[in-house]
Structure 1
Amino acid sequence: MEKVRIGIIGCGGIANNKHMPSLTKCDAMCELVAFCDIIEEKAVKTANKFAPNAKIYTDYRELLANEDVDVVHVCTPNISHCQITIDAFEAGKHVLCEKPMAHTTEDAEKMIRAWKKSGKKFTIGYQNRFRPEVQMLKKCVNNGDLGEIYYGKAHAVRRRAVPNWGVFMDKEKQGGGPLIDIGTHALDITLWMMNNYEPVSVSGTTFYKLGTMPEATEGNMWGPWDYTKYKVEDSAFGFVKMKDGSLINIEASWALNVLESREASTTLCGTKAGAEIRSGMSHPVDNLIFNRGRAGMLVEESLTAKGNIAYFEGVNAPPGVLEARQWLTAIIEDKEPLVKPEEALVVTKVLDAVYQSAREGKEIIFK
């Protein structure tokens, strides 16, 4: 396979702002041949901007029937990820599904079964793994620089950055709010760094406080949101115990009265050293900071990633481009994608358990 022929299902913000710009920078490896959206105008607009000769669909099943499509990118609301992905595998397509994998563990497990049966490639859109400081920290962790990592914290907190468009505030279509939206990235980074995918229990709490308060909409990054339609949590917190005894804290919020906003960030505590990725609205530049004892003193070291990122060249490319390039390479050269479906499944299981724990007021034990 010289060029991968791609069909896009869902032509909203994530498709237009991440997938399309990234894929067009990989035009030597792929061709955009089809666009689908239930609102035809959106599909037409996206095609006119990125691939005017592509075919337009309003029913994703008709796109999947197109034999010219090798791969589909699922960029729809969370609740539809499962069925579209399963249908795509049954149609013989490779699938990149946007994060989170699914809005429930049950759906995510169905997707895994369909993928294994299909023999096709499958990955989830966790592009933050491709940021230079994230790749650099992963390399240091793999080198043993931190020692045994026994505590981690997944940061996904905004002071006021509630997305006031699309279906973000629709619990039925998304499955939740900031935890499933941005908390999923922070948890994915943290689990990946710890290389630990065996949770044994989860305790969680969700808050429905600021989302429905008219006065809380002041200062929102994208302007006031419609507080009468805010149906998801505005903040969520989780405590995850792992099989090996290590612990992970999760914090996620679109609106929280704190001074520091940290998003898609992680804190790792190891026996030799600690490390923090600091990213988000409070951090104009993404930082990677190590802390340790040295020569009788406590020191902090800020590091800058240089050279090439693992797996491919192009350190200066945006994470979405690097994600697309690695994904296309995995298909063309029959390699394993960096983001493995089994890892994404664990992310969904933990997030789902936080919501369940909050609803039921008890610790959730994994079997």
Structure 2
Amino acid sequence: MKTLKVGIVGCGGIANGKHLPAIKKNGNFEIVAFCDLIEERARKAKAEYGTQDARIYTDYQELVKEELDAVYVLTPNNAHAPVAIAAMKAGKNVMCEKPMAKTYAEAKAMVETAEETGKILTIGYQNRYRADSQYLKAACEHDDLGEIYFAKAHAIRRRAVPTWGVFLDEEKQGGGPLIDIGTHALDLTLWTMNNYEPASVTGSVFRKLADQKDTGNAWGDWDPEVFTVEDSAFGFIKMKNGATIELEASWALNSLEVDEAKTTLCGTRAGADMKDGLRINRVKYGRQCVEKPDLQAGGVAFFDGVETKPDDVEQKIFYDAIVNGTPLTVEPRQALVVTQILEAVYESAKTGKTVYFD
């Protein structure tokens, strides 16, 4: 197996919580360069995951000059585009965390750079690799649901506002729960539907709970002074073929209906949701029925099974695309449409008008 030399830009939470452990587990990567604005974070990541002679940088422009097969862009959202574009122009393949970029214009520039340079660009939508997501995608591809004309993208937390890093900073992130977790739910919905042609978006964005105290938040009370993004957002999306999608996202909402990175699909033959595991509803032999596939990896008393984590699958697909030329699961133009719709929700909420696409 060929070993790929890679560099990491951004050594914070998403790097240490997701990518670095998965890269190490894969075994076919060598991390030979680390970059972070806070040098100590880069040094800490090197000590745990890097090669002995891995280089440390605080400027990504220096890292992309290295002889690398790929660069991982694991920064706040406002740096995704400049880092990814610089890496691709320097001849590197890129794995970029979600969302693709802070704005549609930046995401479009990333896609154009990938196409101009011929480098691989993929985005970290790892929820596609879950067992329930894969099963539902297969069902859709086999036309089990028929024409999917209505869907919901769920990203609702009751009280789980991230209080660390720059999550609450609109300038660095571009938004709150919509761009943070709503992006996963929307990506999952568009991907399972295989529909990437939006016609219009109407959005509502709220900041109703952010100034409250004694919040009951999962990670402790947030600071209202630095909470500059929305606490919830909702979108109504019409696709060019007439299909309709409702998008819901919140970090804080007085709701007992809590779902994250899930989708509901309604088709002419059957429907599906992820509310209580994956459920497929249909009429069979003249009766309404609900089917729940067994997605556990085990099956016998003495074997629990080995469930492959989505993070691990993500790394394998990226590796295979670089080494073997196999197709990406998350294509850049798909991720571009996700960013286009998210931006339209914000724009519609700001102007009070529906955003229409050509």
TM class by shorter chain equals: over 0.9
Structure 1 residue 296 displacement after superposition: 3.1
Letter in 2 for 1:46: A
Matching residue of 1:19:
19
Q: Show the 5 A alignment for 1:300-319.
A: 300-305=290-295, 316-319=307-310
Q: Take 1:162 and 1:26, find their aligned partners in 2: how far apart are those partners?
A: 31
- Cα deviation, 1:218-251, whole Å, max 9, x if unaligned, reads x211111112210000000000000100010100
Could you say if the C-alpha distance between residues 86 and 315 of structure 1 is closer, same or farther in structure 2, counting changes exceeding 3 Å? farther
Structure 1 residue 80 displacement after superposition: 0.8
Structure 1 residue 213 displacement after superposition: 1.4
Q: Take 1:366 and 1:144, find their aligned partners in 2: how far apart are those partners?
A: 28
- Cα deviation, 1:75-116, whole Å, max 9, x if unaligned, reads 000011111111111100000110000111111111111111
Matching residue of 2:301:
none
C-alpha contact 1:100 1:124 (8 A) present in aligned 2? yes
Q: Secondary structure at the match of 2:210?
A: helix
Among candidates 238, 241, 245, match of residue 238 of structure 2: 241
- Cα deviation, 1:138-194, whole Å, max 9, x if unaligned, reads 011111111110011000000000000000000000000000000000000000011
Q: Take 2:106 and 2:161, find their aligned partners in 1: how far apart are those partners?
A: 26
Q: Take 1:113 and 1:322, find their aligned partners in 2: how far apart are those partners?
A: 26
C-alpha contact 1:356 1:364 (8 A) present in aligned 2? yes
Of all paired residues, the percent bearing the same amino acid is 54
Q: Show the 5 A alignment for 1:323-334.
A: 323-334=314-325
Q: Secondary structure at the match of 2:30?
A: strand
Matching residue of 1:311:
none
Q: Take 2:295 and 2:138, find their aligned partners in 1: how far apart are those partners?
A: 11
C-alpha contact 1:39 1:58 (8 A) present in aligned 2? yes
Does the alignment pair 1:341 with 2:332? yes
Letter in 2 for 1:244: N
Could you say if the C-alpha distance between residues 363 and 225 of structure 1 is closer, same or farther in structure 2, counting changes exceeding 3 Å? same
Q: Take 1:209 and 1:120, find their aligned partners in 2: how far apart are those partners?
A: 43
Q: Show the 5 A alignment for 1:162-201.
A: 162-201=161-200
Matching residue of 2:279:
289
Structure 1 residue 315 displacement after superposition: 6.6
C-alpha contact 1:129 1:189 (8 A) present in aligned 2? yes
Structure 1 residue 297 displacement after superposition: 2.6
Q: Show the 5 A alignment for 1:1-367.
A: 2-27=2-27, 29-53=28-52, 54-67=54-67, 69-215=68-214, 217=215, 219-278=216-275, 287-305=277-295, 316-367=307-358
Q: Take 2:110 and 2:82, find their aligned partners in 1: how far apart are those partners?
A: 8
C-alpha contact 2:31 2:51 (8 A) present in aligned 1? no
- Cα deviation, 1:301-344, whole Å, max 9, x if unaligned, reads 21122679xxxxx9712110110111111111012211000000
Letter in 2 for 1:318: K
C-alpha contact 1:132 1:315 (8 A) present in aligned 2? no
Q: Which runs of 5 or more structure 2 residues have no equivalent in the other structure?
A: 299-304
Structure 1 residue 48 displacement after superposition: 0.7
C-alpha contact 1:133 1:304 (8 A) present in aligned 2? no
Q: Take 1:160 and 1:298, find their aligned partners in 2: how far apart are those partners?
A: 36
Could you say if the C-alpha distance between residues 348 and 315 of structure 1 is closer, same or farther in structure 2, counting changes exceeding 3 Å? farther
Aligned length: 351
After TM superposition, the structure 1 stretch with the greater mean CA deviation from structure 2, 206-215 or 35-44, is 206-215
Letter in 2 for 1:350: I
Could you say if the C-alpha distance between residues 315 and 250 of structure 1 is closer, same or farther in structure 2, counting changes exceeding 3 Å? farther
Q: Secondary structure at the match of 1:25?
A: helix
Alignment root-mean-square deviation, CA: 1.4
C-alpha contact 2:202 2:349 (8 A) present in aligned 1? yes
- Cα deviation, 1:13-33, whole Å, max 9, x if unaligned, reads 000000001001111x21111
TM-score, with structure 2 as normaliser:
0.95
Structure 1 residue 42 displacement after superposition: 0.4
Q: Take 2:357 and 2:7, find their aligned partners in 1: how far apart are those partners?
A: 37
Letter in 1 for 2:326: K
TM-score, with structure 1 as normaliser:
0.93
Q: Take 2:106 and 2:325, find their aligned partners in 1: how far apart are those partners?
A: 26
